[in-house]
Amino acid sequence: MDLGTRIRAAREQKNLSQADLEERTGMLRCYISRVENGHTVPSIETLEKITRALDMKLYQLLYRDNGVSTEPAPSSGWGSFGKEARLFKKFHQLLPRITQSNRELLLFIAGRMVAARKSHS
């Protein structure tokens, strides 16, 4: 499932329209539609706004294989301990420093990597 599809699924699961999401995020409905339909790749900041508006954690949108979860983030989940925590912290520190186009490229590459991994499973 791609990022736009996950956003749409989360929005629909919460019985929200694109207009509701527009009101909660301050983003235009046409932009939300473009994201949901895979025509544009949102920045991390935009994804954070969307996930806050959907009352969910960013990791739930990015790392769930089986759709959208409404559960709160586990305190012992991915990125909480060891090597993953250090990697997550480094991403958190570096992402604000990169350009918008590089953020979009990073998300695109990550999406392709996940898709390739799923197709080999």
Structure tokens at 11: 């929005």
Instruction: Kindly report, residue by residue over 91-116, the tens digit of the pLDDT.
Output: 777 777 888 888 888 888 888 887 78
Print the domain residue range for 28. Answer: 3-72+79-120
Q: Where are the alpha helices (DSSP H) in 3-99?
A: 3-13, 18-25, 29-36, 44-53, 58-63, 82-94
Mean pLDDT of 78-87: 67
The b/e string for 65-95 (b: 16+ C-beta within 10 A; e otherwise) is eeebbeeeeeeeeebeeeeeeeeeeeeeeee
d(CA 96, CA 92): 8
pLDDT, position 23? 95
The enclosing domain of 37 has a CATH number of 1.10.260.40
d(CA 8, CA 4): 6
Q: Which residues contact 45 (CB under 8 A, 6 or more apart)?
A: none
Instruction: Kindly report, residue by residue over 8-58, the tens digit of the pLDDT.
Output: 989 999 999 999 999 999 999 999 999 998 888 888 889 989 999 999 888
Q: Which of 49, 18, 4, 66 is nearest to 58 (CA)?
A: 49
The total number of structural domains that make up the chain:
1
Q: Which of 42, 50, 51 is nearest to 95 (CA)?
A: 42
Identity of residue 2: D
Asked if 45 and 86 touch (Cβ cutoff 8 Å), the reply is no
